[in-house]
Each structure stands twice: as C-alpha cells, then as structure tokens.
Structure 1
C-alpha cells in the first residue's frame, strides 16, 4: 500500500481518501504559478488541497484562498489537510460544482489542475473517473467560469496534457483570455513533453514558451527542477 500522506517542508498532505494522489502535475502548478501581489486566489478542483497549500506558503500574509472541490471525500480530506496547516485561517475549502460557483469579488489569481482525459473511456471507479475525466468540467466550462471570476489584471494558470495545448488556447481566446507564458515539461533527456503549464490573462500578447527537464537520469533531478521546487520538497536542498 502506498503511503497515505506526503510530507512537505512546511505542511503534510494526506491523500488516502482522494482518487488522485499527490503528483508532479500539482506540485509543478503550485511552484510555477506567480502569485506576486495576489490578495484573492481561487483553486478550481483542489483535490487534496495541495496547490492551495503550496500557494498559501508563499502568498501575502493577508491573501485569501478559496479551494473548490466537487467530490465529497476529497473536499473533506482537503479541509482536514488545511486545518492541520499553518494557513488554516486563510484557506476556505468548498465542496461545490464549479459550474454553479459565484463570487461577488473577483480573483487576482486562479489556478486549476483539471480532469485531463478528454474524449476517452471512463473508468469504473466514479470518484477516480470524476477526478481524471473532464466530462463534468470541460475546458469550455472552465474558461467561461474563469472569464467571469478573474480580475481585469488577473492571471489564470493551468496544467494540461501537451497534446491539447492548441485546442485549449483556442477555447481560451473565445472567452477573451490569452496565453502569455508556457512551460513544456520533459521528464527525461531527449524526451517529448507530456505535460504543459500555461498562464493566461485578458491581455493579448506574445506567449513566451520555455521547457523544463525534471530528471537528468533516474531519480536525479535537474538543477532547474530543484530550484523550482526546493521550497517544498524535503529532499530538495
């Protein structure tokens, strides 16, 4: 049986009740997303609460984070993880469907590690299927909601499979949202990107595209990956 929790430098994430466990996608999103000057942050599909906790660790002392999760068990575990953290008074976990979420106040930063299997067979485990497939949270629904919740000068960061990047960018444009920064993630030298992080805003501009190699060899992490994640991982010095 895998470890039921994951220990980070400043907090612990339990994930035994969640379909999707702590993984590289979430860690990359939490470490890469810029939250400079952000007072209100929204995490769509928080799962264990990992990304919300990572952002809280380096956010302003008066920042407030709302973390949304549709699955009841995952939302409960996220609440438990937040309650054990140093930022329990600055993170609110809500069990809700993003399609029906409304906020009177806009958000400076919105992040999402959304369901990522598009147009594929769903698995028999309903909880895992909801977490992995985007039948309930399509990219169209996601960007429509973001366009309504994001502040005028706000930023939206997402991690998605590389093979849907062009499709996602086109959907974003339909809602007046434009990619301005992109990170293609390569897991081994000479490999091709399987995951991509993109940051969007309402401002139309040239998109800066970069690449990140995570491992130079098996369990030997690149200097760039270490620099990005050392604030969080116990073994990153």
Structure 2
C-alpha cells in the first residue's frame, strides 16, 4: 500500500482520500512546465501536487485548481493550507467542461490528463473516474483549454507515448501549436514511454525538442531528472 503522504522539500502532500496518488508523471510535469504569467490553471488537480509545485516555482502567481472528484478537492485544499499556500491556490470541484474561468483567461494551463479509453480496471470508482478518458476526452480538453488560454500563454501536459499522436492531432484541431516536446525514456535502452508537451496559440519558428532519460545507469535518478527536480525531492 502506498503511504498516505509524500514529503517534498517545501511541502507535504497528503493523499489518503485521493484516488490518484503522487507519481513520477505529476512530478515531471510540475517541474517542467513553464509559466509566462501570473494566472495558472491546474486541470484535474488530484492531491494538488502540480498546483503546489507551480506555486513554489512561481511565487507571484495565483493557481486555480479544478477536479471532478469532491474528495480530491477537499484533500488538495487541505494540502494547500498545510503548505501555507492557500492564499494563492484556490480549488474548485467542477468539470473542465463546466468551468468558465470567472470570465478571465490563464497564462498557463497544466494537466496530467486521463488517457484510458473504455473503462480502466480499478476497485475504486474515484480512481476509475480519474483515469478514464471518457470523463475528459482529448478533444474536449484542448477545445476548452484553447478558450481559457491567453494569446501568449502555454498549456503543458504529460501523456503516454501511445497517446502522443492522438493528443497532438487534437491540439492542432483546437488551434494550438507545439512549442516544446520532450520525449522520455525510463532508461536509455528502452523505448520512449511518455511525452512532456507544451502548446500555445502562436506558431513558433522552431519547436524546442529534446529526449531525456528518467533513470541513470545506476538505477537512480538521471542527471537530467535530478537537476529538474532538485528543488522538490528531499534526497
């Protein structure tokens, strides 16, 4: 059984009442995403991990975190309070499809999206809801995000390699252009397993492309991953 909390340098994430626990994907996205402005939206916040990471990195920003699962929202609020960040992180229990941003747009959108087609196997209805793409299909994610993003803003997300083509095509359909693409391997000898992606409304002259490994030859964090997460992991 996973621990009911995960301690980082700047905050502790309680996760006993949240279906989706702290994982590598969330840490990767929270450390990799960039924010060109002060308004950040975290779609599907879960424990609030990515919102907390963005609040730590961008001290002048306000983060709006949304999730469709009431228990996750309650836990994310508690984690924000415990971290002393409740004045900069607001949590709302709602679907992205019903969210209007209060009439304002966001400079940054981050999302660790659900990607399972059909119904993923889980004993927990909350976990099934959080993981199933039926709750937030890629097309709807990008359509709504495009309306909520400022003209110069960026939307960042992490997806499995098998889903990259679908997500990239749906982003294009929504009028979003790739700005950064980072292909990730667990170790050098294995194929690419996931992608970190950043999109914007403006077409760039050159997409920033990279390929990295999460683990080094010794089985520990690679030099790239250690540097990326230096401000968060305890050791």
TM range (shorter): over 0.9
Residue of structure 2 in register with 1:148 after alignment: 147
Residue of structure 1 in register with 2:94 after alignment: 96
Unaligned runs of 5+ in 1: none
CA distance in 1, matches of 2:149, 2:18: 28
User: What is the CA deviation profile of residues 172-222 of structure 1, one whole-angstrom value per residue up to 9, with x for unaligned ones?
Assistant: 111110112111111112111111110000112343321111111464111
Please report how far the alpha carbon of residue 43 of structure 1 lies from its aligned counterpart in structure 2 after TM superposition: 0.2
CA distance in 2, matches of 1:174, 1:168: 10
Scaled by the length of structure 1, the TM-score of the pair is: 0.94
Please report how far the alpha carbon of residue 47 of structure 1 lies from its aligned counterpart in structure 2 after TM superposition: 0.3
CA distance in 1, matches of 2:15, 2:119: 25
Say how many residue pairs are matched.
233
Inter-CA distance 55–167: structure 2 relative to 1 (3 Å threshold): same
Residue of structure 1 in register with 2:156 after alignment: 157
Residue of structure 2 in register with 1:135 after alignment: 134
2:29–2:156 Cα contact (<8 Å) kept:
yes
Alignment of 1:204-215 (within 5 A): 204-205=203-204, 206-215=206-215
Unaligned runs of 5+ in 2: none
Question: Is 1:109 aligned to 2:108, yes or no?
Answer: yes
C-alpha RMSD over aligned residues: 1.3
CA distance in 1, matches of 2:17, 2:174: 35
1:18–1:77 Cα contact (<8 Å) kept:
yes
Please point out which of 72, 79, 82 is paired with 2:80: 82
* Partner SS for 2:22: coil
* Partner SS for 2:20: coil
Residue of structure 1 in register with 2:216 after alignment: 216
Bigger mean CA deviation after superposition, 78-87 or 40-49 = 78-87
2:115–2:163 Cα contact (<8 Å) kept:
no
Alignment of 1:160-175 (within 5 A): 160-175=159-174
Inter-CA distance 81–145: structure 2 relative to 1 (3 Å threshold): same
